[in-house]
Structure formats: C-alpha cells, structure tokens
Structure 1
Amino acid sequence: MTFSIVGRCEQTGQLGIAISSSSIAVGARCPWLRVGVGAVATQNVTLPALGPQILDLLEHTLLEPAAALDRALGANDWSEYRQVTVIDASGRTAFFSGKEALGTYHAVAGAQCVAAGNMLAGIDVIEAMAPAFANAKGALADRLLAAMHAAMAAGGEAGPVHSAALKIVGDQSWPIVDLRIDWADDDPIGKLDGLWQAYKPQMQDYVTRALNPTAAPSYGVPGDE
C-alpha cells in the first residue's frame, strides 16, 4: 500500500520524507519530522502515534534510532503489522517490517537515507531508491523525489498509487516544505514533483516572511502590497 524514503542532507542538515500510497491522504498519517531530532515514516497498517513517540525517544532519552524504534514498538500493540523507518539528525538509520506487513515488502538503508515499502511490485522497487537518492543532484527535496521516481520506474506498488507527500524540516521550528497530493487518479508522484517545482523558487521567501515581514517580497496578489 505504501513506499517511502526518509533522508538527510549532509550539507544543510535538513531532514525529509517522500512517500506515496494507494490509500488517500498518505501525508496526513505517515510522515513525522522534528527539527534537529529526526524523521520517521510509519506505514503499512499505520499507527500514526509511532512517529511522535519515536521522535520523543530520540530527543529526550538520546537513544539511537534502532533502540528508539524497538522501545516504541514494544510499547504498542500489533507491532507485527507495522512498517517503520527512522533517521536521526546525525544520519543514523533504523527500520522494521513486521511479519504481517502486506504483500511483498522490503526495506533498505543507504547513506543518509532509508527506504521501505509494502504491497510492492517487487523488492527491486526499494532497492532502486537509495542509489537514486545518493546519485541525484539538487536540494534534498529533489533527491527524495528522484528516489520516488526510481521506485515507480522499477514497478512501484502492485496496484496504482493515488496519494503522495513531501515534507522537509530545516533550521526553523516548522516544516519548510509540506506538500501533498491527497488523491489523484493517476501519477500523484508526478503531480507532487510539479507542485515542488512551483514551490521551490518561493520556499525561502515564506521563511523570510515569517522571520522579517518587512523584507518579504510581494507576489502581486490582492492585499499583498
């Protein structure tokens, strides 16, 4: 039902998640990020609570990702139905796929990233993601989306995907990117990429608006003087 990649940019320290699913509004349930702490994708038969629980453990107990993941799974029921990936602010990773994960499932850790999925067309879908992330140029969002396109080129899910999301945190306490395609009859990843291309040249402007409104550029919309 879902495949995703969590990743970190070594140059900026940004953390991000790109994810797609056959289910509606995957971005509402599965990606969890916290500035300076880490990123968690909780998927398959999703328990959204695992995201903030693991981030709390990373932040407040200073556990490494594998230990934080184990503790959170152990504190919740039905762990064998979950698939979870974690990266921390240092780039350390962990992942878990329960034995009740749906269909063909797989997870792979790469340099500064970890990818996972279930109900896959094949394990090559996930195997393609970490190399694509590592070899892609551009911002973290571009690299995460390159991994998603590589997954689709390798077969994607066993059935059609309908939603996709991209979420990134940087230096601020809020996400600097939070883009979602909650439902599309076809190609939600392509539509998400198009949304990112439209947002990318404006991203820093919205940070500037928040921090110093007097320096914010105008976009010529009504009331935006």
Structure 2
Amino acid sequence: MTFSILARDAETGMLGGAAATGSLCVGGWVLRGRVEAGLSASQGTAPSTLWGEATLDEMQSGASAAQAVSRVTTPDTGRAHRQLAALDTHGGTAAFTGDASVPACASRSAERVIVTGNMLTSESVLDATLEAYVSATGSMAERLLQALQAGEAAGSDSRGLMSAALLCLGPDMPPLSLRIDYSETPLRDLTALYARATARPYADWSQLVPTRQAPFRAPSEQDLQRLGAATPTTD
C-alpha cells in the first residue's frame, strides 16, 4: 500500500521523511516528525496515526527508535495489520511489520536511514529506494525525492501511486511539509511543488519566520519592502 523513507543527515542534523502510496493523503496518514524527537512512519492495511505520535513521544522522552517501536507496537492487539518505522535524533532506526501485512512487505536500513513498505510489487522497491538515497547527491529533500522516484521505477505500490509527501525538519529552518493528496502523477507533482517552495518569493519569505534556533525572528521593514506584495501569508 505504501513505501516510505526516514533519514537523518549527519552533518546538518536535519531529519527528512518521504512517502508514496496508491491511496489518498499519504502525508497525513503516514509521516510524523519533531526536531526534538525524530521521525515516524505509520502505515499498513489499518494504519494507526496513534502509533506515529506515540513513537515520537517515546523518543522525545529518551527512548531509542528500537525501544519506541517495541513499546508502541507490543500492546496493540491489531498490530498484525500495521507497519511502523522510526528514526531517532541520533540516527538510530527500527521497524515493525505485522504478520498480516500485505506482501511484498518488509524494511531495509543503512546508517541513519530506513525504508519500509507493504503491498509492493516486490521487495526490490525497498532496495532501489534505499540505494538511490544513499548514492544521491544534493539536499536532503532532493535525495528523498530521488529515492521515491527510484522506488516507483522499481515497481512501486502494486496499485500504482495516488499521493506522495515530503517532510524535512531542522533546528535552523522552518518545517518543510509538502503533500500531494491526490494525483495521477504524485511524484512529478511533488517534485514540482518542491521546486516552487524553494524558489523566490516563497523561499525568501520562509527565511524570515521563527525557527527553534531563532524563535522570535520577524521581518524587518526592509524585508517587507523587499518582498512587497509577493509575500505569502497564512491569513
């Protein structure tokens, strides 16, 4: 039904996740993240958004990814129909795949990155996604997009794709959370949306909003004059 990837950049500390599925709204269902906790991807036949949030709570309280996954999945009597991946702030990874998950279903991991999927054409989708991320160059977001594209080319969700999402977090940046909730070409549309989100004027405006390292940041009069009427707002 879904394949996802979670990763941490060792140099910048940035956390990034991406996911694609043959159903609607993969970003809202699957990806969760907090700078101070890490990332989670909760998916499957009956995905639990509660799992995703609980995993972040555990890691924020000091649990490793492996400890968090075990604590969240063990008490759930419906866990056979669910899948979970986690990445902690140190780059540790862990995954759980329920016994009733639709094949092909599994996970793959390397240093500071984990890929998880179910209802795939084959496990080669996971291998291709992981290998593409590890060998890719560019920003975290660009590497994640390349990874999803490689997974699609290797066979993808057995139903094809309908939605895709990207989430990047860091202490010195505003969150980058992009979602294509329904499309016949979600990865192409997600890549196009990323290009817009990192181009002017939106990219200029995004550098003026608060971050964890600059929680009180606000635009100066000069900033406002420079951006002018092109400045996006959330009013």
Corresponding residue for residue 175 of structure 2: 176
Aligned counterparts, 1:84-103, within 5 A = 84-103=84-103
Match of 1:194 among 192, 195, 207: 192
Q: Which amino acid aligns with 1:130?
A: L
For 1:2-60, what per-residue CA distance to the aligned partner results, in whole angstroms no more than 9, with x for missing partners? 11101111121111110011111111111000113210000012100111111111111
Corresponding residue for residue 212 of structure 1: 218
For 1:190-225, what per-residue CA distance to the aligned partner results, in whole angstroms no more than 9, with x for missing partners? 11011101112344631413422114551633898x
Structure 1 pair 223–112 and aligned structure 2 pair: CA distance change class (3 A): closer
State the Cα distance separating 1:76 from its structure 2 match. 2.4
Residues 122 and 155, structure 1, Cα contact 8 Å, conserved in 2: yes
Structure 1 pair 11–204 and aligned structure 2 pair: CA distance change class (3 A): farther
Residues 82 and 101, structure 2, Cα contact 8 Å, conserved in 1: yes
Gaps of 5+ in 1: none
Structure 2 distance, partners of 1:175, 1:126, is 29
Q: Which amino acid aligns with 1:159?
A: R
Q: Which amino acid aligns with 1:119?
A: M
Corresponding residue for residue 19 of structure 1: 19
State the Cα distance separating 1:169 from its structure 2 match. 1.0
Corresponding residue for residue 118 of structure 1: 118
State the Cα distance separating 1:87 from its structure 2 match. 0.6
Aligned counterparts, 1:28-39, within 5 A = 28-39=28-39
Corresponding residue for residue 157 of structure 2: 157
Seq. identity, %: 29
Aligned counterparts, 1:43-122, within 5 A = 43-44=43-44, 45-60=46-61, 62-122=62-122
2:49 counterpart SS class: coil
Structure 1 pair 107–219 and aligned structure 2 pair: CA distance change class (3 A): farther
RMSD: 1.9
2:20 counterpart SS class: strand
State the Cα distance separating 1:110 from its structure 2 match. 1.4
Farther off after superposition, 81-90 or 174-183: 174-183
Structure 1 pair 199–219 and aligned structure 2 pair: CA distance change class (3 A): farther
Gaps of 5+ in 2: 211-216
Corresponding residue for residue 145 of structure 2: 145
State the Cα distance separating 1:162 from its structure 2 match. 0.4
Structure 1 distance, partners of 2:95, 2:18, is 16
- TM-score relative to the length of structure 2: 0.88
Structure 2 distance, partners of 1:38, 1:138, is 21
2:208 counterpart SS class: helix
Structure 2 distance, partners of 1:147, 1:222, is 32
Q: Which amino acid aligns with 2:35?
A: V
Residues 176 and 203, structure 1, Cα contact 8 Å, conserved in 2: no
The number of residues matched between the two structures is: 221
State the Cα distance separating 1:143 from its structure 2 match. 0.7
2:134 counterpart SS class: helix
Structure 2 distance, partners of 1:144, 1:222, is 28
State the Cα distance separating 1:77 from its structure 2 match. 2.7
Structure 1 pair 128–204 and aligned structure 2 pair: CA distance change class (3 A): farther
